[in-house]
Structure 1
């Protein structure tokens, strides 16, 4: 596996993708903006405790930054880790950095400094990044399931099937899907009319929280939002389930309990990451859609933690359960201490 070849595939794609056009579309002054800004409440009902709540959120954000940057540095600097599983882990770490940074700084500013105002266009951009990169994280988890399937079911052809070109194309597909599916969110919102005070009872610009402020017809926005959630989560969970069904069938054919245990252990980290991402997300989604009797501050706390907890736990899970990562982390920090 050549890291340089994989990186070139990714950079070639990024160089032709119209980021500038996307940002211009999101901030185009020709949009009929109803007002200049939104007001982020923070955590409704817990205003007096918000400074204390900000403390653990700030710690989570710092842990996410340190953990994911460490993972990226280790994978980039160590040639022995230039393998499919670690390339996908690097993608996951990069996405987690974007997710945490899209959410935490503004949330902390609201909770600590009462910086409640957020520009309309900035709000739309934040919304786009949060939802698009959440979709990308789900896609990377599917890619990691595919990697485990190939590694266990076709071990001799693993490096041939998942060569750098294929990994680069998988990464591009995940990235493009996230962009294309979520671009309509801000585009559809610009057609809405806001007749009331633009106060969002949240720590960040969540899609449905903004849609609910409109006094115009929002059926299209709600339907598309639900369709995207079901499409992304539904298809991705199905793909992961199919991959693990094949893995389970292959492992059960392996003679000897020790060999089976070793095969299952190679999937342990990935299964933990899947649970960390999907279970809180599903719980947050269900309480938001159907939990009408759940206090609103619980919705907000769940939604905020959903975007911060996975970026914190993912590096820890792989650091603890993956021997190669654990050894490199210890070597990195022990070397620094000796210096």
Structure 2
């Protein structure tokens, strides 16, 4: 007997496409969040990146408010906030405000990676050694969301007592151990850093301590999913993401590019191998192939939830990919 499908969530990179501007990316972000909401996706997350012309989600909480205005049911959240870049008090104010705007729908995923280069960190005023204080900053952030039952001079209004779901993000043992220690749900960034996926999940589950945030481990696995009516079309659409990752190794992080017919003629064998390793956790094909690929990844990881990235240049093709994926996986439209 086949197990019921686990929830699917969506991580939106809010890509700025060649020939378009950030205003177009943000308009599409709200539209794709609304689309995911109607298809039955569980969460819509965006991530904090800085000094990247091709990504329009630097002001993460603002983008989430924009997405939330166009949706009714889906949870909205950060995948994630790079906490070393911020005062926990300020993040509490921002996400407390989101919780007031969208009650019962806000996730606060936290990461310790910089989300940018060292020069930009100086512009952000991220202090040296901030990443080493990450566990303490997480605890402080949680403190600001505690109910204001005791007298206190400082409160991060409107965060005090607000309903926000905390998540730990990671791509290594560190995040897994911290999530387990704090009793938090855990999201692994296997959509671009898959090497330690199995090891991190095993460590998280073995060391998990129940808490008020989660009574049992809950692991969400990141996976790139490109679905089209044919395998050939899905592979063609995937070239947009493959070219984007190749740009990392070429030192040329440009705008999102339209798909091409023959990527093997475009990149070198070394680039193909390096990008292939980063994007190893990808499922690309027609609906049957996508269903089979997700089934295999679930069997391997015992994931409680998938969060998918569908980095497709054309918005119409992206909506089609999400619709085909939702249908193949058995999501219930709302």
More helix by share: 1
Q: Which has the larger radius of gyration?
A: 1
Q: Scaled by the length of structure 1, what TM-score is found?
A: 0.25
